[in-house]
Amino acid sequence: MSDFLDKLGLSVIKAQEQGLDLLEKLIATARPTAVFGHPVTGGDYTVISAAEVSCGMGVGFGGGGAEPGDDEDQGIKGRHDAVAPTEDDEGLKSRHDILPSGNGYGAGGGGFSTARPVAAISIGPDGVHVEPVVDVTKIGLAFFTTLGAMALMFSNMRKASRG
């Protein structure tokens, strides 16, 4: 195995280990204290907040390569020369002369986490009560989305009845 392929393999392993470390950290956030807040006591009442917690992650790895000189053995050099111009009047060289042949590696990832309050749990002398948190923004978005969909549907129905 060449030095390049050895380095490529080590890079892939390192990137995978970093991805696994990140995944372990995201899983560690899914604990009860992320969903339920610390109890707050006042007089005879205790209140505990509850939240909806979501997280997601995506990673990708890629690699490739060819031994230096392999392109000539496999006839790839001829294809580069056929599709790329040779040195022109301005001194630009062919793609084969500018870019190294083969060899590539890439990795990437992304993630998110979000939390929103959903309820307050109240514990007192008269029992336990769960008070939902009403998200007015979400209700408003759903209302206007529904109105828009209905308007579009009626418009399409009117066009269809005329045609």
- pTM value is 0.46
Which tens digit of pLDDT belongs to each residue from 64-73? Answer: 766 555 445 4
User: Which two structure tokens, joined as six digits, stand for 35?
Assistant: 């969903």
Domains of the chain, residue spans: 1-57+107-132, 66-102, 134-163
Segment 43-61, tens digit of pLDDT: 999 999 999 888 777 777 7
* Residues 6+ away with beta carbon under 8 Å from 45: 122, 123, 124
**What pLDDT, on a 0 to 100 scale, did the predictor assign at position 68?**
53
State the Cα–Cα distance between residues 117 and 102, nearest whole angstrom. 51
Distance of alpha carbon 103 from alpha carbon 68, whole angstroms = 9
Tell which residue, 103, 106, 113, 109, has the closest CA to residue 18.
109
In this structure, which long-range contacts are made by residues 10-14, counting pairs with CB atoms below 8 Å and at least 24 apart in sequence? 11/63, 11/105, 11/107, 12/61, 12/63, 12/105, 12/107
Q: What are the tens digits of pLDDT across the range 72-117?
A: 544 444 444 444 445 555 555 544 454 455 666 777 777 777 888 8
Residue 32 has pLDDT above 80, yes or no: no
Instruction: Give the count of alpha carbons within 13 A of 54, CB side only.
Output: 7
Q: Give the pLDDT confidence score for residue 49 in this predicted structure.
A: 92
| Confidence at 160, pLDDT banded by 50, 70, 90 | very high
Q: Distance between CA 123 and CA 134 in Å, rounded?
A: 20
pLDDT for residue 35 is more than 80: yes
Q: pLDDT, tens digit, for every residue of 106-115?
A: 777 777 778 8
Give me the chain's average pLDDT, please.
76
